[in-house]
Amino acid sequence: MSQSQISGSQALMRAFLAEGVETIFGYPGGAIMPVYDALYDFHDKMRHILVRHEQGAVHAAQGYSRVTGKTGVVIATSGPGATNVITGVADAMIDSTPMVVVCGQVVASLLATDAFQETDVVGITQPITKWSYQIRSAAEIPWAVARAFYIAREGRPGPVVLDLTKNAQIELMNFHYEPCTFIRSFIPTPPIDEQVVSDAAALINQAKKPFALVGQGVILGNAENELLAMLEKAQIPAAWTLLGLSAMPTDHPLNKGMLGMHGNYGCNIKTNECDVLIAIGMRFDDRVTSKLATYAKQAKIIHFDIDIAEINKNVKADVAVLGNSKETIAAVTKQLQPARHDEWISSFDSYAKIEYDEVIKEEIDPSTPDIKMGEVISKVSEATGHKAICVTDVGQNQMMGARYFRFSQTRSMVTSGGLGTMGFGLPAAIGAKIGAPHRTVCLFCGDGGIQMTIQELGTILQENIGVKIIVLNNHFLGMVRQWQEMFFDERYSFTNMKNPDFVAVAKAYGINGKCVSTHEELDHAIAEMVSNDDAYLLEVRIEPKGMVLPMVPAGADITDVRLK
């Protein structure tokens, strides 16, 4: 053995360090043991979080990435370890989250023999990753890792999977690392077309009723300041998608609320009244547009995006501004004339008042003894000074979190937007707290969702992670129950839940907690929960049949907003 030679596993660790990796989420197993043996010698340079299930590792890496902007890193073993990461990989793909997942694999000589814990990881993950590659020799590791991080973070971010055979982990090689800066045929950021920029600016300058739809592309491009500069210069009211939340402060006068199925009344109505619709870093998914045949047909459409595949996919753009949002927004803003649209902006107010009177007032300040979801979320947000990171699971808790939590800084909303993965919340909150240790992280989840990944309370115990867990317990799979009530004649088919004592479960993991069922208890418990940085589980017994309103039924016109 040459003194300059190292094993493939050691090379992987050195490659991680070269890419600036500080935190790894993972779970060891047979086919990845050489890598974990090498990690033993690097534990003072990289923090490894031992989760309780591989799905927890990918969701934690997503939470970490979403609050830091860094690429999340996951290690899992072969076979079931690899298949357990699939949901999280698909989630990261549709939500544009940069992530590198390294899975162990059987030795190359046993590939395609149905060896113990062998599965076709590349075949499974190719449709749900930006790149999936099998490494069969140690010499490939530096090249593959450099390429993986480059692809994951550049352009529209997303997940990459490296399927690492066991022999490659053990073989010796001469280590040399060169970061990847170019891949032939991969153009992550399209060059800006100056004529298109001028065309977009001309449309906005001529607009009488412009309306901006803000998606996650603004946050991914670090373009929050550029966005505000454009909106304020041309006085453009804006609304956000679920993943665009926190790109601009909640209380900004041009922020008119959320779009889509459970969005704000005025935002959906005005979508079909504006004359220029400016979509920025969003993909016109069905939860935002509802019925495409009647969506914003009166408006000229300007679509800013870094991914050409999103242009004209669902909604045809009159002007498509391709490129990084930080650069394209600034380029268009330079050509904008200062403008005022006072009458147009104030026209949102009447709808906001109707929504407040019909929905919001009773939701945050109920007149009945039962605690409501919006009341809980509003009070927790208030108790944190509207400075906390809001993490949600999926279902009613997610939509209520989006509607009633308030934001004062960017990268403050972590949720599973596109895939809608129940069980996402708890591990994602763990990753968010690790990524932003000095901020308060509040997780809102239902009694159904938390039980999908409740084993990650063990990760909180082991790593002493101060996540605030708020379980909105209505003894139902709430969102499915709501649809059964509205669209299935109240036939509550298998949505009632008999639950454990969540506070007792938390205490078994060394986590303090409390269960409340009255308004008075709620105030005291929230104050206790946020009084220090320790983990805390607050179970809130909420009204059994609470509804998330407003609601646009699936497939209806976006203006078909139901307030009751």
> How far is the C-alpha of 250 from the C-alpha of 55, rounded, in Å?
32
Q: What dihedral do alpha carbons 239, 241, 246, 247 form, nearest 10°?
A: -70
Would you say domain 6-173 falls under CATH 3.40.50.10490? no
Query: Would you say the C-alpha torsion 218, 246, 57, 288 has a positive or negative sign?
Result: negative
Q: Is 479 annotated in the active site?
A: yes
> How far is the C-alpha of 59 from the C-alpha of 55, rounded, in Å?
6
Ramachandran quadrant class, 296 (left: phi over 0; alpha: psi -120 to 50; beta: rest): left
Q: Is 166 annotated in the active site?
A: yes
Q: Is 117 annotated in the active site?
A: yes
Per annotation, catalytic residue among 116, 206, 316, 353: 116
Q: Is 407 annotated in the active site?
A: no
- What does the block give as tokens for 190? 């399209």
Per annotation, catalytic residue among 5, 33, 46, 117: 117
Indicate the SS3 state at residue 102.
Answer: strand
Residue 266's alpha-carbon distances to 189, 237, 238, 347, 398, in angstroms, are 34, 11, 11, 9, 21
Side by side, the strands of the sheet bearing 238-240 are: 255-258, 238-240, 210-214, 276-280, 300-305, 319-322
> How far is the C-alpha of 223 from the C-alpha of 331, rounded, in Å?
12
Q: Which residue has the tokens 């008999």?
A: 498
Per annotation, catalytic residue among 261, 282, 413, 479: 479
Domain with CATH 3.40.50.1220 in the chain: 194-347
CB contact at 8 A, 310 and 285: no
User: How far is the first Cα of the chain from the last one, in angstroms, to the nearest whole number?
Assistant: 74
Domain with CATH 3.40.50.970 in the chain: 6-173, 369-541
Answering whether pTM is above 0.85, one says yes
Q: Is 335 annotated in the active site?
A: no
> How far is the C-alpha of 424 from the C-alpha of 417, rounded, in Å?
10
CB contact at 8 A, 135 and 163: yes
Architecture field, domain 194-347: 3-Layer(aba) Sandwich (3.40)
Q: Over its length of 564 residues, how does the chain's per-residue pLDDT go in tens digits?
A: 455 799 999 999 999 999 999 999 999 999 999 999 999 999 999 999 999 999 999 999 999 999 999 999 999 999 999 999 999 999 999 999 999 999 999 999 999 999 999 999 999 999 999 999 999 999 999 999 999 999 999 999 999 999 999 999 999 999 999 999 999 989 999 999 999 999 999 999 999 999 999 999 999 999 999 999 999 999 999 999 999 999 999 999 999 999 999 999 999 999 999 999 999 999 999 999 999 999 999 999 999 999 999 999 999 999 999 999 999 999 999 999 999 999 999 999 999 999 999 999 999 999 999 999 999 999 999 999 999 999 999 999 999 999 999 999 999 999 999 999 999 999 999 999 999 999 999 999 999 999 999 999 999 999 999 999 999 999 999 999 999 999 999 999 999 999 999 999 999 999 999 999 999 999 999 999 999 999 999 999 999 999 999 999 999 999 999 999
Per annotation, catalytic residue among 19, 54, 310, 327: 54
53: exposed, middle or buried (C-beta count within 10 Å: 0-12, 13-18, 19+)? buried
> How far is the C-alpha of 453 from the C-alpha of 457, rounded, in Å?
8
Q: Which CATH superfamily is domain 369-541 in?
A: Thiamin diphosphate (ThDP)-binding fold, Pyr/PP domains (3.40.50.970)
Q: Which residue has the tokens 């409740």?
A: 454
> How far is the C-alpha of 83 from the C-alpha of 55, rounded, in Å?
9
Per annotation, catalytic residue among 70, 166, 209, 468: 166
Question: For 18, phi and psi rounded to 5 degrees?
Answer: -65, -30
CB contact at 8 A, 400 and 374: yes
- What does the block give as tokens for 504? 């007792």
